[in-house]
Structure 1
C-alpha cells in the first residue's frame, strides 16, 4: 500500500469549492499532490480557491443542477484524457432561504434547495461513473449534514429532506458501483461557521442559543472546515479501500 495520504496522480473534482468546506477540501487534496478541479457558480471566489491551491488546481464555473452543463464538462475532461477518479459532491446549502411554515413554502423554493443538495449530487455522480467503471477505480464522497440524520437547525423542510435523500443515494450507489471498485461514502458535518450563511445562523442564535449549541457538543467547541476535509481525505485514501456506503458524522460528538 502506498502512502495513503499522498494523492499524486489522482484527479479530484470538488463542487461548491468557492468557500467553506469546498475550499478546504480542494486545498487539502492539492497540498497532497492531487490535480484538482474546483467548481462553483461563484466565479471570482472559486478562482480565489484555485489560486490558493496553486498550479495543480483549476477553477471551473459550473451549475451542478444543469444536466447539460455537467455532461459537457465531463465530456470535455474525458476527451482530454483528464477523467476524474475522485468526486467530492460538496455543493449545497439553503440558497438564501430561511425557515418558514410548511404552508408558505413555494414549489420553486423547495425545488431550488433539492436541486443543489440532491439532484446535483446525482447528476455529478452519473457523469463521473463511466470513466471510473472503465478504470475499475473511483471514489465518490458526498457531503451531507446532521440535518439529514436528525432535523435541520435551519427549520427548512427541503434542506433536511434533500440531505436525507443524499444519504440514501450514497448507500444505493455504494451497492450499485461496488463491483467496479468504486466506493461511495458520506460525511455529515455538524454546525460549523464556514461561510456567510452559517455566520448568519450563528448570529441569529444569540449568545444563549450559541451557548446551548456548544453545550450539546461532546467536545464543547465548534469544528472548522479542515475537520471536514480530513474526513474526505480518509474516504479517498487507501485506508478506506474496504469502506463504502458509510456515513461519518463529523460533529464533535452528540
Structure 2
C-alpha cells in the first residue's frame, strides 16, 4: 500500500523538531504541499529549509492566531486538506506533588495541548466543510489513556482531554467528509524534554522501561509519522474517532 498526497495541502504544528518534523518530512516526501507551524522561530525555519516546506512562526494559544494561520494558508494555497496537531508537550515542566503545582503551570500545558487543538479545528472546519473533505490527526499520548510516565498531572489530563476532543470532532465533522483521529505515541526520545526524562530514569530505569515494551525497543519519530500518514490517507477514509496506540505493544 503506497500512501500519496500529491496536490494535498497540509499543516503540521509543532514541526520544528521531533515527531512534528518527522510527520512533515514524510508528507513532503509523499507529495504534499506542507506548511509548518511552531513557536520556535529558528527551529521551524531551519526544518522548513531542510525538508522543502513553508513555515509559520506562531503561538496557537489564541483563536485569533489559529484563524490567521489557517486563513492565510487556505487563501494562499487554495485549500487546507490535512491538519496534524503535534504541538504540545510538557513545556519544560517535571513531575511534582499536586500540592506544589501553581495554576499557571496547569494552564500552560492545557493551552499548548488542548486549547490550540480546539482553536485550530475551529478555524479549519469551515474550510474543510466547504471542500467536503478533510483529514485531522491529533498527536495525543499514552498519557491520554493511562497515567503519565512524566508524573505531570496537567499533561495526563490534557492528553485525556485531547482524546475526548478528537472523538467529539469525529462525530461532528464526519457528515461533512472530514475524519478526525488520534495517534497516541509511547515513549519516544524526540526532543530535549523527552531526552531529559530518559536520562532521569538512570540505567536501571531505562532497562525496566524497554523491557516493558513488547518489541523491546523505544519508538522513533518515524514510527509515529507512519501511523499518522495512514490516518491522513485515502485508504483510511472510513476510519474516524479512533485512537491508535503506537507504543511497541506496551499498552
TM-score exceeds 0.5: yes
1:64 deviation in Å?
1.2
**Partner residue of 2:4?**
6
Post-superposition Cα deviations, 1:57-100, rounded to whole Å, max 9, x if no partner, equal 10110111122111112222333353311000100111001111
**Partner residue of 2:242?**
246
**Partner residue of 2:32?**
34
**Partner residue of 2:218?**
222
**Partner residue of 2:164?**
168
Matched, 1:46 2:44: yes
Q: SS of the counterpart of 2:79?
A: coil
The 5 Å alignment of 1:1-254 reads: 5-54=3-52, 57-254=53-250
Query: Is contact 1:27-1:53 (8 Å) kept?
Result: yes
**Backbone CA RMSD of aligned residues:** 1.0
In structure 2, list runs of 5 or more residues that go unmatched.
Answer: none
Query: Is contact 1:4-1:238 (8 Å) kept?
Result: no
Distance 1:225 1:78 in 2: 27
Post-superposition Cα deviations, 1:91-125, rounded to whole Å, max 9, x if no partner, equal 01110011111111111000000000111100111
Query: Is contact 2:37-2:44 (8 Å) kept?
Result: yes
1:51 deviation in Å?
1.3
Distance 2:238 2:2 in 1: 13
- TM-score after normalising by structure 2: 0.97
Aligned length: 250
Post-superposition Cα deviations, 1:157-177, rounded to whole Å, max 9, x if no partner, equal 000000000000010000000
Distance 2:63 2:171 in 1: 24
Query: Is contact 1:74-1:83 (8 Å) kept?
Result: no
- TM-score after normalising by structure 1: 0.96
Query: Is contact 2:9-2:77 (8 Å) kept?
Result: no
